[in-house]
Structure 1
């Protein structure tokens, strides 16, 4: 990128088109967030045998309705990167509106639990593919100076989608929730249809003139594209030279290092216990003796995620990725230690009446600090650190791992609490968060303000 002085300032162009393209793209993420959030208001209605809906579910069936989303996400993530490499980022994203619409349609008409199973599986496929392709798209359209901020919008819109469903679930009927969520993929198609393809993908396909048009659309018509196109082309050429297979491409130092960072951050994101805290937040509040209603608890959780992700967007291109990951991991570990200590005293019969708000505060602070670091950054850095020639496949692998771990951690929570107790379970996840701090400090590289080529050079060990 040209330096910010003299005539170079004119060459920078405008950042507004990048923000608009990112906003349009992340409407798909908003839709995916609504699918995640649906189970919180919908499952209690499905389990209520007195409700007037056409389908009901037992607690065991509800567990599968919730868990099949993660299984579908695993299935959808694996081929999504390869699909984006073949059809393009933009076309693949537009096609993802189909499984999301189909999922909501099946939920609306379902007269049996089996149809709900199918709906959640299909919705999960769209969710997993969305989590794979959107970070890739944003990383490839954004300038270095705002790439962190724009990439953080993925987590922000995911949280907004979850909060959207929570809020509707508190006031609307089962069928009204489905209708309100069905319109979201349609809005995405309408606003994203005219967005540009990424210049990186177009250069990979040898479409240099179209890549130049894409850059002008994203940076402004007065932007001098020569230097940025040359830099992108050099990196793609360097990666493709001498590479005949995915295995050989993966054998490069920078590719292996990038994959370790991507997979490691996905592991620590899920093993931080975030899904347990979110899914069981109302139960944690109940166990702590809180008088807050379950609906209000879920809305508070969703609101905390949105607000802290907004803070992260402001800080991420100023403070940097590493420091936010370190603060996030440290704070989550402390909050989980507090939760563990509270339940240890409660379970052994000590008087904890004076500590009634302690677990509530610990949960809210935990979610706030997760959404500042380990919420958005793992998704974002996969798009930043992975080399372009293996980004599609490796992003799919990273996202599939994420959702596999989400399923395993959520499903094993009851077994862990039975074996280790509430306190032992939270102490375990606190220890994992401490390991996440070490990983962030000694393995993860700082990518703030660096071009994609500079990141690859650092991963390769070049000065």
Structure 2
């Protein structure tokens, strides 16, 4: 289905924005750009994008309902481009504040994309592919990140920005030719347009999609009749349990270090002093993350959510312990020449187990734990919470690495991976193959 990859181009675009710091901050530090940045300024450059993403999910949900999913997404591509323009202007102006503003704008767009893209794709996808949509999002984030790792180290500051700005431009142009969500048309009372959208999406006749339209109309009717308030999130034991389980999974997802690794990947390898060039090592890790993300749908349905999360947490704990131990030896002047390969291997393992488990699965589980009438609100709250934690991690990781050492930074992430394993083992029920009613009964029991 062509519409799904086209819509996810915006996710690839914000993936570029997320990982732009990985090849760029080392250039600022080494003087390759005309914008020298202190350690503190680099921390803010890295962390302002997730901070911007904290505030936009709530507005994104309103905009998607008020003006439509497609219109909201196309409109979001424009400030993404503006953000890149500001970053480009920052070099001749030698202006760190311009970079700050551009990064915040990218963060606001990031929050919109992560809220509206899953909503839009979930509404246009056929049932048989809907279960893989969470992995689809992860694939395009990985694709955007990998593009920065591959291109960034070998081109100038300006060329990387121009390259990155092309992606949201392509999205805005191609998205015009993709129909609006049929759910949006039904909510607006545009039944004929909903039929035409379904016909385009399914590649069949209008008669063949009338049955699907009837189901959509019923779903929309139920949604309109069961509008939720914040009180509904804490009105039943099942909702409260779903809330703390979802928030707990996202808390552990971020506190196991993924954003610090994505944002500062090249710096991490440079600090390790290994034989392999830090740019090449970063490309290897990014490629592994992309390939692992592509394999995730097969594992989710065959192994179940709990097993994947347990494997993921255990693998992250081991890999983080190993890389922390390497930095401990390296920073204490031990001879690490014989294990110079360890940081790359450790982060490759980390990316594999994260991409098949704690990357996509917490979002999939969240979608299964909440009742339909509170799912949208819970998603907005969880997304904001997730990005706030990402801001804290990306802001304080360089400081912790500088003050305590990279060994302690990675060991702290490893401790949270152990906490994740124990929490999933004792607290999280398996949702694979269970109906909404069965899940709600388990949570309320």
**Residue 130 of structure 2 is aligned to residue 147 of structure 1:** yes
The residue aligned with 1:40 is 22
Alignment of 1:440-459 (within 5 A): 440-441=424-425, 443-444=427-428, 454-455=435-436, 457-459=437-439
TM-score by length of 1: 0.83
Cα distance in 1 for partners of 2:192, 2:430 equals 33
Match of 1:363 among 314, 338, 347: 347
TM-score if structure 2 supplies the norm length?
A: 0.86
Report if aligned partners of 1:34, 1:164 keep a CA contact under 8 Å in 2: yes
1:158 and 2:141 correspond: yes
Contact 1:417/1:425 (8 A) holds in 2: yes
Shift of the 283–185 alpha-carbon distance from structure 1 to 2, 3 Å rule, reads: closer
Residue 377 of structure 1 corresponds to: 361
Post-superposition offset of 1:96:
0.7
Point out where structure 2 has 5 or more consecutive residues left out of the alignment: none
Q: Select the residue among 191, 194, 208 that pairs with 2:177.
A: 194
Q: Distance in 1 between matches of 2:190 and 2:369?
A: 24
Counterpart pick for 1:176 among 149, 159, 175: 159
Contact 1:41 / 1:166 at 8 angstroms: preserved in 2?
A: yes
2:416 to 421, 432, 452: 432
Greater shift after overlay, 112-121 or 234-243? 234-243
In structure 2, how many angstroms separate the alpha carbons of the residues matched to 1:137 and 1:41? 32
Match of 1:409 among 385, 390, 393: 393
- Kept in 1, the 8 Å contact 2:226–2:373? The answer is no
C-alpha displacement of 1:402 = 1.2
Q: Distance in 2 between matches of 1:192 and 1:439?
A: 41
The corresponding residue for 1:263 is 247
Distance 1:418 1:34, change over 3 A: closer
> How big is the alpha-carbon RMSD for the aligned residues of Structure 1 and Structure 2?
3.1
Structure 2 vs 1, CA of residues 186 and 346 (structure 1 numbering), >3 Å: closer, same or farther? closer
User: C-alpha separation between the residues in 2 aligned to 1:31 and 1:84?
Assistant: 19
In the alignment, which residue of structure 2 is the partner of 1:24? 6
Contact kept in structure 2, 1:140 and 1:198, CA below 8 Å: yes
Unaligned segments of structure 1, at least 5 residues:
1-18
Contact map agreement 1:139 1:151 (CA 8 A) in 2: no
Look up the match of 2:75. Answer: 95
Paired residue for 2:311? 327
Tell me the secondary structure at the aligned position of residue 178 of structure 2: coil
| 1:127 CA displacement | 1.2
Q: Supply the distance in 2 between the matched residues of 1:272 and 1:406 (Cα, whole angstroms).
A: 10
The number of residues matched between the two structures is 439
Question: 2:46 maps to what in 1?
Answer: 66
The answer to which structure has the higher helix fraction is 2
Q: Partners in 1 of 2:213 and 2:108 — Cα distance?
A: 34
Q: Would you say the 8 A contact 1:78–1:396 is kept in 2?
A: yes
Shift of 1:101: 0.9
Structure 2 Cα separation of the partners of residues 225 and 447 of structure 1: 30
CA–CA separation in structure 2 for the residues paired with 1:25 and 1:347: 45
Question: What secondary structure sits across from 2:131 in the alignment?
Answer: helix
Give the SS at the match of 2:358: coil
CA–CA distance in structure 2, aligned partners of residues 244 and 428 of structure 1? 38
Matched residue, 2:119: 136
Give me the whole-angstrom Cα distance separating, in 1, the residues matched to 2:32 and 2:127: 55
Partners of 1:82 and 1:392 within 8 A in 2: no
